[in-house]
Structure formats: C-alpha cells, structure tokens
Structure 1
Amino acid sequence: MSSALSTCSKCVVAAAFAAALALLGSPTTSVRAEDRSPVIDFRNGDPEINAAIAQARSTLPKFWASYDAPKPSETGHSLKARFPYPNNSGEHIWMAEVKKIGDGRYSGRFANAPRHLPGKRAGDLAEFREADISDWMFLRNGKIVGGETIRPMLKKMSKADADALRARMETP
C-alpha cells in the first residue's frame, strides 16, 4: 500500500451512504452542490480501513475492465481518491464523472463536500493520481460493486443507515 495512503495521524473518510446513493442513483451522474454526507473518521493505522484500501487497490483492474467496456447493467463508475491537506496525509473523497487524463492521472467531480480542502465544494472538478486511489465502485443491476472502504464504516453508522446501505451492495 502507498505510504501516502497510510501515514496520516487522522484520515477523514466521507461516509459512503449518502454519496453512494447520490453518485450511483442513476446512469447519468449528477453531483449535488450541497452535500450533507456524514463523515466517519479513521485514525492512522486502523487495520480495517487499511485492509479495505489494500483490497480495493488490489482489485482495481476489475473497476477498469468495467469502466472501459461496461455492460448495459453497469453504471456510475466512481473512484475514491486521497487529497492531502496540511498537518495530515489526506481526506479520502468519492469522485464522480471520472475521466482518464493519461500518464497515471485522472479527473472527476467531488461527490462529497470536502471537509478539509478550503474553497472546494461537492461538484467541483479536481485531478488526482493513480497512487491516490483508495477505493472504487459502480452499480451493476442497481447494486454497488466494489466499495471496500464502505464495509468498515458500516459498524460506525446508525443501524438504519447501515442496513439501507447493505441492501444496496452486491456483496454486503
């Protein structure tokens, strides 16, 4: 795993519930300008979140295979990327409308409102590098595929939110 993804004293990971539903709710992604997604904090060294990031990164070829040649039932391809901010190694944010720029670089729109990136809002366009990808997901037949970092978050969510999100996952 990249040291950039695992060296923070407090990694902030936007919760997937509201973002996933907004991001993956329709084949044509529309990012909301005002995002009220809950935020779930994970401290550096959290074994579950680090394992989830490692798993997501190891299965990234599955994402790219679907992204490059999606089946009619596969939509809403999104990546979670790490954006650095001072005194921390970064905030992990879901990115919608992902595009390959080339040379290991990508662009997308923030699907969550960044909490630690002054002047940035949900819907803003941003660039990131392949090394900063911490998760991926898309919909297949209306169910979330991927989303490894969602699983550790379920324990920290309300039962109602966790149950609703599990119901949307292809493999809960």
Structure 2
Amino acid sequence: MASAPSQPLRWAVFIAVMGGTIYGILTIGTKREVLAEDRSPVVDVRTADMEMNAAILRARDTLPTFWASYDAPKPSETGHSLKVRFPTRKGAEHIWMAEVTKRPDGSYSGHFANEPRDLPGKHSGDQVQFAQGDISDWMFMRNGKIVGGETIKPLLKSMPKADADALRARMEQP
C-alpha cells in the first residue's frame, strides 16, 4: 500500500532567554528561510519524521511536569510556553505560545510567540484558543536552563555545531 507524501510542518526553536522571558527564535533545517517581520528562520519537518513524532509523544507524556510547575512554580521557574499545532491548508504549523492560560471551559489560550507563516491574518502576539490535544511540546526555564523542549532535540543534529552546542548548554540535563 502506497503512503501519501508527507506534509511539511513549521518548527521554531527558542534560544534567546533573558530573565525567564523568551525573546529570540532560531530554527534550522536544510531549507533556511528568514521571515521579514520577525527575522525568524523556519524549518520544515515531514509529518512522517519518526524522530520528531517520538519527541512529540515524549512531550505529551511528560506534560504533567509542565502543569505542575505552571500551577505552582518555584521562584527559579519562569517562561512557561507550549508548542501548539494549528492546521493549515498545507498541513500544519507548530508554534510556541507565550502567556498560556487555562480557561474555565477546559481549553487553553496563549499568544503567538513568533510570526505565523501559514495562518493568514494571524500575527505574533495574537491571542488564540486551543485544546490540550493540539499541544505538541512544552518548556519553561529553571535556573536559566530550558526544561522540556523535546521537539528541540531532534533538530540539534541539523544545526551548525556551534549553534547546537550553545543550545545544548542552555538545556537542563536530567
């Protein structure tokens, strides 16, 4: 049985963090694009990418760690962000959300942390609503290190060594 061609997805990796606030975005891949508005490079990942799909499953399995810190953060834990999948006409776009909020109806809301590429009319900073099933990753900062960020890890091998090493140094090791 022939399988359908994989659709590309958009992935972004946060790297510039100051005082628990995420300011910059670095993405990597064989196609390096830079968006004019936010200067965020973009990487496309196929929906059939087994390593990325495994990272998404690990992130979803460990989501209780995120919510525990979100609900009762220690003074050293800041910058709680979720990566959320949004359907597009080309497949899907995964975007980090800042200022995440649990809503009384069981859904969530947050603000786009970067400029969406394939969501017409949506812009960085816009508030949107989403469901838990749309969450593809999570992260927060603890003592200046990234906790979580499972979907960042498969992308490291495609980055220039210096960039990958700098990002690895920013990630908390278990």
C-alpha displacement at 1:96, in angstroms? 0.5
Equivalent residue, structure 2, for 1:11? 9
> How many pairs align?
159
Query: Is 1:31–1:123's contact at 8 Å kept on the other side of the alignment?
Result: no
CA shift digits 1:109-168 (9 cap, x unpaired):
111211111122211111111100000000000000000000001112222221111110
Tell me what 1:144 maps to: 146
Indicate the residue corresponding to 1:78 in structure 2. 81
Of 92, 108, 112 in structure 2, the residue corresponding to residue 110 of structure 1 is 112
Partner SS for 1:102: coil
- List structure 1 segments (4+ residues) > 3 angstroms apart after TM superposition: 27-32
1:167 to 161, 166, 169: 169
Match in the other structure for 1:36: 39
Whose relative contact order is higher, 1 or 2, with alpha carbons under 8 Å and at least 6 apart? 1
Partner of residue 56 from structure 1, selected from 52, 55, 59: 59
Give the fraction of aligned pairs with identical amino acids, expressed as a percent: 65
CA shift at 1:59, angstroms? 0.2
Distance 2:83 2:172 in 1: 18
Whole-angstrom CA distance in 1 between matches of 2:38 and 2:84: 17
Q: What residue ranges of structure 1 are gaps of 5+ in the alignment?
A: 1-6
Q: Which of 19, 36, 39 does residue 26 from structure 1 map onto? A: 19
Deviation at 1:29, TM superposition (A): 6.1
User: Which structure shows the higher strand fraction?
Assistant: 2
**Is the 8 Å Cα contact of residues 81 and 133 (structure 1) preserved in structure 2?**
yes
- Equivalence for 2:103: 101
CA contact (8 A) 2:20 2:144 kept: no
Instruction: For 1:44 and 1:128, locate their aligned partners in 2 and report how far apart those are by CA, in whole Å.
Output: 20
Contact 2:38–2:114 at 8 Å: present in 1 too? yes
Say if 1:94 and 1:110, in contact at 8 Å, map to a contact too: yes
Residues 121-160 of structure 1 correspond to what in structure 2 (within 5 A)? 121-160=123-162
1:3-58 Cα offsets, whole Å, 9 max, x none, are xxxx96222212x1xx342xx422456799x4222212110210100000000000
Corresponding residue for residue 3 of structure 1:
none
Query: Quick check: which has more Rg, 1 or 2?
Result: 2
Aligned mates of 2:39, 2:100 — CA distance in 1: 21
What is aligned with 2:68? 65
- What TM-score do the two structures reach when normalised by structure 2? 0.83
The letter of the residue matching 1:44 is T
Q: Deviations over 1:60-82 (max 9, x none)?
A: 00000000000000000000000
1:29/1:97 contact within 8 Å kept: no
